[in-house]
Structure 1
Amino acid sequence: MTVANGPHRADNSAGTMPEAMTPVGARTARTAWSITFLVMILQTVNFADKAVLGIVARPLSEDLGLSNADIGLLGSVFYVLFVVTGLLGGFIADRVKIVWVLLVMALLWSLVQIPILLVGTFGALLVSRVLLGAAEGPAASLVNVAVFGWFPKKERGLPSAVVSSGSSLAKILMAPALTLIVAAYGWRAAFITMMIIGAVWAAVWLVVGKDGPYSVNSARERAKTGDTDTVTRVSILRIAALPTFWGGVLGMFAVYGMVAVVLTWLPSYFEEGLGYTRINSGLLFALPSVTGMTAMLLGSFVTDRLAGRGTTVRVSRGLVTVVALVLCGVCLAVIPFVTESWIAVALVVTGYGVGVATLPLMFVAVSYISPDRQVASTLGVFVALFQASGILAPWLTGYLVDAAPTPADGYTSAFQILGVVAIVGAVVMFLTIDPERDRARIAAIDPLTNADGSAEDEELYAATHGEESGRTREGS
């Protein structure tokens, strides 16, 4: 790529583009957001693959004679290998171009739907959901890694929220469409649709996907070119021992348990628990995601602005997450005490929305404490650990529904448990989250990573825009 020389950034501390932006810089910015929106579509496919089970749960159980516990088992087995591959995927992405990793994942998502189409039994569903979980395990971390490669640290909140909003779009746009497809053509048609969409995305990504200037691979290639030994590594165990890391895991454990339950059971709750029709339940499935996407985009935009103005990461990412998690927990915990169905819907919608808004904030906080060379593996381990709640939560919900006097009692008990766990997680996060402190601890281990993380961004920015850069600290 031909590089145009341009002036240095006017404000290095904000990590922004130079005031007199070069043509290369403008083109890079456009490419960055194009890649971000394409990765957001992949995240939409990812969550639609998860949500499809909730959409077909009732017709599937009627067709195959399945109990609520059986449906819950299908939801839970998805996460068995999901956690394992989530751990491994990040370490692979530290060493392989992220563009190829995402391509392989998307193709696998389509291929593992085949057992359902060929056999269509409960056993085939179990096999397919296990394999799909294995293929999607690294997705939550690696979609963020892919877009983080195009943005400096202090500008990653909004891109992460845009990508994470794909989970909301899956329920706002795709869930209603899949509901209508199932109503017209049967539950197998939903899986065929997802197989086709995944294959189409992979074909587009093969043509336009690329790594960004801030990616691990870019840093590694520059190190080789310069014949320097700048790619050092810090033990993942040392990173995981930091309070910001494990406190974040515990807080997000509660959030993802809620996500897994909503994806598996929310349409059934609306139908069995609140008395809505099957089609209306499928359409209402989109409502929590409307608040979720709004909260993610607004919250991340505001916290990016706060970070740019010098607010600490503990406040802009950590404490905002704590407040949102408390609100989420309260909304879910009081559901058993309401009698009006519309109030229950409103509480689920609000609780889910503010809860999922914490995910991109914590992705940014954890990436902040990680050396850039290990963002993929650090986020991979972080996500795999908190997503382990997906193994238990859907099955437990199905068990509670079968054991309760009425389905409504079982569903509301499950939501109440999730709410209490979320409040406990918020307290833990309030006591542990401090990214600046923990990044300084990493800096003591890896002297090439300074305490505020600006040096790596400065070097990568300069390399991309044809500038020389000193290893200066922000604000020094």
Structure 2
Amino acid sequence: MPTTEVPGTRAAPAPSAGESRAKAWGFTGLLMLLYIVNWADKAVFGLVAQPLAEELHLNSSQIGLIGSSFFLTFTVGNLIAGLLNRWTALKWSLALLAVGWSFAMLPLVVSATFTVLLLSRMLLGFLEGPSGPIIHTALYSWHPREKRGLPSACITACASIAKIAVAPALAVVVAAYGWRTAFVVLAAAGLVWLVIWLPTWTPGPYGEDKAAGTNGAADEPAVPWSKVLLSPTFLGAALAVMSMYALVTVVLTWLPSYFEMGLGYSRVQAGTMFGFPSIASIVVMFGLSWTGDRLIGRGATSRVLRGVVPSVALLVCGATMALLPSIGTPAAAVAVVSIGYAFGASIFPLFNAGLAEIVPPRQLASTLGIFMALMSLGGVYGPYLTGWIVDQAANPAVGYGRAFQIFGAMVLVGGFAALLGVNPERDAARLRGTARTPDPKGLR
């Protein structure tokens, strides 16, 4: 079927059937490795929250404040993704970020105080903020628009892979050698990735990279930012991902503590079970994304597959989380959290791929940067609000159950907003008439 394009976007060169597709998936795997390190850096705080609380004498509100502060600077970092993409080639942007993450992990190893913990997590958040938009821009340069659902799911799945494969290993490291060792291991992982990345990366045929010498898009028509940001697809998707990301950050910061303090599991068991919701989410996410790409290739609409489907998944997630306080059995509570999270976490690659349909490639990094900044606002209030709720509750089990119920209600609201607003094909057609030739010196 014909693809929906914004006028002025030149057709990308057709890749060869063998080598280019192998390269595309090879680079997808390399970007996945970086994102796994990225998410492991986030997840480690949830794993060490209780050891840190014991060593530094922190209450739940203080732990939540640190988690929320990370996502505050993470939001600011997202907003500079477009500028970083404008000034520096993707290759060097991601290299600089990876070095920054590694060194941001180390101050707490040297001096473990509340102030150092807070500032180091805020620095890490700022440096990790631009990574999502830039990684997706790099990814999309190797995959055509109609086939981006599955590669997007691969990148989004890195959050789950980090919790399934890396978090249990880190939990064992923490139990055996202390939490400081986990931070050192993650710092080293970022530097090892860099050694592979620098000699191998090249941009793909479906994007543009100014510093890499493929900035032929300077004369592309650009869509006015007011039209992009006020489009129903952008607004509906932004409300949806903000509500779901709040729940994601609550799970990331508090799930091991919930399993340990709320449900009575041991610390190692809690760290191991941290990956249960992520296992379920990988199954649902890859199933939806793979099926969606195939159906779009056969003529199905983006409205259904990148609008209605993720919206319904959010409604399932919100309704499931709302039931959590009524679950009295620990194993059943783990299952309910896992199932609800699985459906909700499946939305991110679908909405990202939908947004990529309504803007030209030259505006994609900035669009995703703004989108992910709005998304990460959910992380600003999620962890702290949960800590406050737990501190005010009669016991941790009641507090965590109530917090998950509240965030489930927010997800329901986001799901309805996306159901009403997200329609990439409609909005691409509307934006088509507003495209204009940009100033070559203007922002992407």
Pairwise same-fold verdict (TM > 0.5): yes
Alpha-carbon distance in 2 for matches of 1:13, 1:436: 9
Residue 167, structure 1, aligned to residue 159, structure 2 = yes
Name the residue aligned to 1:106. Answer: 98
Alpha-carbon distance in 2 for matches of 1:235, 1:14: 18
Q: 1:305 to 1:447 in 2, by over 3 A?
A: farther
Q: 1:378 to 1:23 in 2, by over 3 A?
A: closer
Alpha-carbon distance in 2 for matches of 1:90, 1:417: 34
Letter in 1 for 2:345: V
Residue-by-residue CA offset, 1:200-258 (whole Å, 9 max, x unaligned) = 1112111212211112227995565xxx8633322322210101001100011111001
Q: Secondary structure at the match of 1:233?
A: coil
Matches within 5 A, 1:150-165: 150-165=142-157
Alpha-carbon distance in 2 for matches of 1:335, 1:404: 15
Residue-by-residue CA offset, 1:288-335 (whole Å, 9 max, x unaligned) = 110111112111000001110111101011100011001100111100
Alpha-carbon distance in 2 for matches of 1:421, 1:24: 46
Letter in 2 for 1:301: W
1:290 to 272, 279, 293: 279
Cα deviation for residue 155 of structure 1 reads: 0.5
Q: Secondary structure at the match of 1:120?
A: coil
Q: 1:139 to 1:220 in 2, by over 3 A?
A: closer
1:406 to 395, 403, 410: 395
Q: 1:220 to 1:446 in 2, by over 3 A?
A: farther
Matches within 5 A, 1:110-189: 110-189=102-181
2:183 to 179, 183, 191: 191
Alpha-carbon distance in 1 for matches of 2:86, 2:349: 20
Residue 339, structure 1, aligned to residue 328, structure 2 = yes
Contact 2:314 2:415 in 1 (8 A): yes
Q: 1:112 to 1:223 in 2, by over 3 A?
A: closer
Cα deviation for residue 121 of structure 1 reads: 1.2
Alpha-carbon distance in 1 for matches of 2:102, 2:125: 12
Letter in 1 for 2:26: S
Matches within 5 A, 1:262-277: 262-277=251-266
Cα deviation for residue 337 of structure 1 reads: 0.9
Name the residue aligned to 2:355. Answer: 366
Alpha-carbon distance in 1 for matches of 2:359, 2:174: 44
Residue 379, structure 1, aligned to residue 371, structure 2 = no
Name the residue aligned to 2:418. Answer: 429
Q: 1:100 to 1:229 in 2, by over 3 A?
A: closer
Q: 1:408 to 1:238 in 2, by over 3 A?
A: same
Residue identity (%): 42
Cα deviation for residue 90 of structure 1 reads: 2.5
Alpha-carbon distance in 2 for matches of 1:229, 1:143: 22
Cα deviation for residue 41 of structure 1 reads: 1.1
1:326 to 312, 315, 323: 315
Q: 1:404 to 1:147 in 2, by over 3 A?
A: same
Q: How many residues align?
A: 431
Q: 1:94 to 1:365 in 2, by over 3 A?
A: farther
Alpha-carbon distance in 2 for matches of 1:229, 1:269: 51
Structure 2: gaps of 5 or more residues: 6-12, 439-444
Alpha-carbon distance in 2 for matches of 1:151, 1:219: 20
Contact 2:147 2:293 in 1 (8 A): yes
Residue-by-residue CA offset, 1:155-187 (whole Å, 9 max, x unaligned) = 000001011111111000000000000001111
Contact 1:71 1:398 in 2 (8 A): yes
Name the residue aligned to 1:54. Answer: 46
Cα deviation for residue 97 of structure 1 reads: 2.0
Residue-by-residue CA offset, 1:384-432 (whole Å, 9 max, x unaligned) = 1111110100000000001100011110111001111111111111111
Letter in 2 for 1:230: D
Alpha-carbon distance in 2 for matches of 1:424, 1:205: 41
Q: 1:223 to 1:388 in 2, by over 3 A?
A: closer
Contact 1:265 1:394 in 2 (8 A): yes
Residue-by-residue CA offset, 1:91-130 (whole Å, 9 max, x unaligned) = 3214532222111111110011121122111111111100
Contact 1:244 1:435 in 2 (8 A): yes
Alpha-carbon distance in 2 for matches of 1:245, 1:418: 22
Alpha-carbon distance in 1 for matches of 2:402, 2:106: 36
Contact 2:242 2:376 in 1 (8 A): yes
Name the residue aligned to 1:445. Answer: 434
User: TM-score, structure 1 length as denominator?
Assistant: 0.87
2:239 to 245, 250, 254: 250
User: TM-score, structure 2 length as denominator?
Assistant: 0.93
Alpha-carbon distance in 2 for matches of 1:369, 1:310: 18
Structure 1: gaps of 5 or more residues: 1-10, 16-20, 450-476
Letter in 2 for 1:314: R
Contact 1:252 1:359 in 2 (8 A): yes
Alpha-carbon distance in 1 for matches of 2:392, 2:280: 31
Q: Secondary structure at the match of 2:209?
A: helix
Q: 1:56 to 1:115 in 2, by over 3 A?
A: same
Alpha-carbon distance in 2 for matches of 1:166, 1:257: 18
Residue 69, structure 1, aligned to residue 61, structure 2 = yes
Name the residue aligned to 1:415. Answer: 404
Report the aligned-residue RMSD: 2.1
Q: 1:95 to 1:318 in 2, by over 3 A?
A: farther
Q: 1:423 to 1:147 in 2, by over 3 A?
A: same
Structure number, greater radius of gyration: 1
Residue-by-residue CA offset, 1:411-460 (whole Å, 9 max, x unaligned) = 011100111111111111111111111111221112789xxxxxxxxxxx
Contact 1:82 1:384 in 2 (8 A): yes
Residue 309, structure 1, aligned to residue 301, structure 2 = no
Residue 34, structure 1, aligned to residue 23, structure 2 = no
Alpha-carbon distance in 1 for matches of 2:383, 2:304: 33
Residue 354, structure 1, aligned to residue 346, structure 2 = no
Contact 2:281 2:346 in 1 (8 A): yes
Contact 2:87 2:211 in 1 (8 A): no
Q: Secondary structure at the match of 1:373?
A: helix
Alpha-carbon distance in 2 for matches of 1:204, 1:137: 22
Letter in 2 for 1:64: L
Name the residue aligned to 1:392. Answer: 381
Q: Secondary structure at the match of 2:142?
A: coil
